[in-house]
Structure 1
């Protein structure tokens, strides 16, 4: 099968429409003005595409973009729609561009960096989806606070200027309260008061703030989840003056169905493990293979965000018409939705990686630099032994040869980054959390049959095997940029890598046994 025909198949629905009829969710968005932050990110692109395609009667989609990496907001806006993820939208809704409007700003700045005329323009917003965030686990506390905490506060301040606001959806993370073993769909006390944290960031210089960071984080593993926990408290303290809700996804993977199966554009989280192992760089991970890997396909997250706004607006309207709204339990606190897989379709890390291995070895890539040899090691000392013999020793040998032939050594530096990344992932791979997602299930039950088919929330009918089949192919095409047309050539090349792998392994084990035998003889133990 050629690359083009395969992508066309991936863009079509894996299953036929089981229910037809008008979409209540799409009808809600008809004529609405939607303001989206984080539109250039992974989830942001999917939200843009889905809203414009499945809720095509939306009036205007405002996109907040900032300058980044030397590119202006206008340049980033022009390049945004060149992504393959928008190809289906271009085919089905060719006039979508008329509905999209660029808003120049930055959630990390006071006032969001908005010009007065743009702030006035946004008063017409009906739905806010706040997805902008720094998702780097090793981000400085200052940057994480300014973007994830102050940005949320500034967004709520802006939302209060919107007289016709019907819904404000804040995208958080299921691990914002990872210091707890059981995480319900409710707010928890923050690690620090948001105003105190913002004051600290303003008062302290970089050096003292960096020194204080471990003390502030406490049991929180990184600045990302810490800042997200504080940001949720800002949402909670909204005093219900605004229609707000929180969507908490777990570890996000590529897409399952919409708009294209297997699409992914980053190597964060579990995707980084898959890519690192697939190209032959990553050989070991400190991970308990029996632990549940709470992974979630990106399109399930997108569906929850879109539907949550619809439901929030409906609940608020019913409350307005209710003379005694205090009797309605649905407005006691802003609703929270834990978008997780472990409640309906749990999968262990071991089973997940077994799927990856089975499907990945069927379609080796030209980007592979070594043969696949990856292990999940529960015991840290075993993991460290693997690191020494399968990461550091080969890196030392390869870089030494590179120096001899006059090339720049790179492998040792690469493994330093890989080990830093894998140490962060190990925190989530060596622990087990229990989640409650009753809110998501109630939300799913509210949908009409047509909307349940269009915006699937429940994972009852989800198949990890089918997902991973598409995920591996999507990673090859969209991350490694390796066309499936190269598969015959890649298969031959990979067979050579396998033979070289076994030859090197034989030599290494021979060296180990020789060293042991020499030690035994010299020590007189034999």
Structure 2
């Protein structure tokens, strides 16, 4: 009887669009990559949603309203604006900053947001891996404290979704969907950050983060622990995406707007600027498309509000255990699709390689990256132009160094709560808000990702693709010719200096003469 009752209850759960109907939401981090995709999806797939309050801080003299207008003007929002004219009116910018108490909102904005809001999505954070610990703690940890204080004032609050990262616990090989005990009491860390100067904190950073590779993963783990403690009586869900990449399908396949993470790698590969880095060819590259991750966030908010779980549920939004993709596949597919659809201007023919050998990498960096960069800069100086290739290589290798911890290792992420959440969705909601990683076709995804990097990040027109292909073919022929000339010159140098090679060269010439002069005579005589 109990089983039948539960079955009926599952069948009668309201749909996700019904849950969001008429409800006002509050979103932080809307100017970031995931925040934009989340906002667009909510507006388009929950057309009866109420107001969307979005926290935006003034930036370089640009007011929040102008920043939001700029965001809504990008290609990402073209579809929803076409389907729902005037939808921009639902987006209400709120001036504030997560570094400040109450997010720095005015008393009027704070009152309005707290009175009206039913659902909160907190995705604001610094995602720089090498951020100074003080600022990282202020944004990622103290920001969560400000969030929990603010949410306690929201009488209508039904869901609070906090966006973390699957790598918050990257010091563990196996990561369950739970909040682990932090390496240090978050309150003690906050106290220390508030009185220590930046120089002292910098000196202690390596000791504090321990076996974690950077301040980002460390502070994200701290933020989870603090949130569970300080918001334990609030309706909280934690969503942990892995490596967030371009969109899979919605609203535009391959949409991406920044050079963070894998996008930066792909652009450097496509431009021929990155040809070798440390990485395990056979290890899992736990890439998650941004629209898959945001759909999971929306579903988590729905489930938290409808089912009201008694504990804070954590969702590992990852692909490795459900639809495995490896760094080797990324290497091969990025090469394939950047040869098929090359960038407009490339320094070298795209040819990425992952290796676990530090010696091989160092050799490749010297001969395949730095030496060509110095030669190209020398050429630019000769023609009176400003050198740039060595500077570009320095920037690339600093960025690559922050990623090599993840490209040389792999993790086992449990996905029990993700499977549970999938089982709760209706057939229609599964179609509208798909977040099952098993639907991803990786070759198709990577082709769209490479094209997306060209179109949306590098701002290259697809009409220029035929000319780019011709230019790449010319570069390939030139590279082949240079290799042949190099081999011949190296061989001739060896022939002159090493007797053994000289003997081999004479033997080879003797065989060639025999083939071209003797064999025809033998054939005629026979």
- TM-score normalized with structure 2 length: 0.89
CA pair 389-448 structure 1, distance change in 2 beyond 3 A? same
Instruction: Note if contact 2:145-2:230 (Cα within 8 Å) is conserved in structure 1.
Output: no
Instruction: Using the TM superposition, give the Cα deviation of residue 245 of structure 1 relative to its aligned residue in structure 2, in angstroms.
Output: 0.9
Structural mapping, 1:51-70, within 5 Å: 51-70=42-61
Match of 1:83 in 2: 74
**Aligned equivalents of 1:516, 1:450: Cα separation in 2:** 71
Match of 2:113 among 112, 118, 122: 122
- 1:375 is aligned to 2:319: no
Report the Cα offset of residue 425 of structure 1: 1.2
Output aligned runs, 1:249-260, within 5 Å.
249-260=241-252
Q: CA deviation at 1:515?
A: 8.0
State yes or no: 1:26 paired with 2:17.
Answer: yes
SS at match of 1:440: helix
Question: 1:79 Cα shift?
Answer: 1.0
Q: Quote the residue 1:229 is aligned against.
A: 221
> Per-residue CA shift, 1:430-452, capped at 9, x if unaligned?
11100101101100000000001
Structure-2 residue corresponding to 1:398:
376
Which among 402, 408, 411 is matched to residue 430 of structure 1? Answer: 408
Q: 1:469 matched to which residue of 2?
A: 447
Give aligned pairs, total.
488
SS at match of 2:149: helix
Inter-CA distance 346–225: structure 2 relative to 1 (3 Å threshold): same
1:113 equivalent to 2:104? Answer: yes
RMSD, aligned α-carbons: 2.0
User: Structure 1's 362 and 157: CA in aligned 2 closer, same or farther, altered over 3 A?
Assistant: same
Structure 1 window deviating more from structure 2 (123-132 vs 349-358): it is 349-358
Q: Which whole-Å CA distance do the structure 1 matches of 2:485 and 2:390 have between them? A: 21
**Taking structure 1 as the reference length, what is the TM-score of the superposition?**
0.89
Tell me the distance in 1 between the aligned counterparts of 2:229 and 2:491: 64
Choose which of 234, 242, 251 in structure 2 pairs with 1:242: 234
Q: Are the equivalent residues in 2 in contact too, given 1:280–1:373 (CA < 8 A)?
A: yes
Distance 1:313 1:513, change over 3 A: farther
Q: Give how far 1:95 is off.
A: 2.2
1:439 maps to 2:417: yes
CA spacing shift, 1:394–1:98, aligned 2, 3 Å: same
TM-superposed deviation, 1:22: 11
Structure 2 counterpart SS, 1:164: coil
Q: Does 1:213 align with 2:205?
A: yes
2:280–2:407 CA contact under 8 A, matched in 1: yes
Whether the aligned pair in 2 keeps the contact of 1:23 and 1:451 (CA below 8 Å) is: no
Q: Which runs of 5+ in 2 are unaligned?
A: 1-11, 505-526
Shift of the 520–357 alpha-carbon distance from structure 1 to 2, 3 Å rule, reads: same
What's the CA shift for 1:262?
0.8
Point out the structure with max Rg over C-alpha: 2
- What CA deviation, in whole Å up to 9, does each residue of 1:161-213 have, x standing for no partner? 00110000000000000000000000111122211111222111121111111
Q: Which has the higher contact order (CA 8 A, sep 6+)?
A: 1
Change (3 A) 1:275 1:517: farther
Give the Cα separation in 2 of the matches to 1:438 and 1:55: 27
Q: CA deviation at 1:355?
A: 1.9
Contact 1:52–1:58 (Cα < 8 Å) also in 2? yes
* Mapped pair 1:198 → 2:193: no
1:203–1:510: structure 2 CA closer, same or farther, 3 Å change rule? farther
1:503 aligns with 2:481: yes
Task: Tell whether 2:32 aligns with 1:41.
Answer: yes
Task: Please state if 1:350 is matched with 2:341.
Answer: no
SS in 1 for 2:439: coil
Q: Say which SS state the counterpart of residue 245 (structure 1) adopts.
A: strand
Secondary structure (helix, strand or coil) at the match of 2:387 reads coil
Range moving further from structure 2, 342-351 or 397-406: 397-406
User: Offset of 1:68 from its aligned partner?
Assistant: 2.2
More helix by share: 2
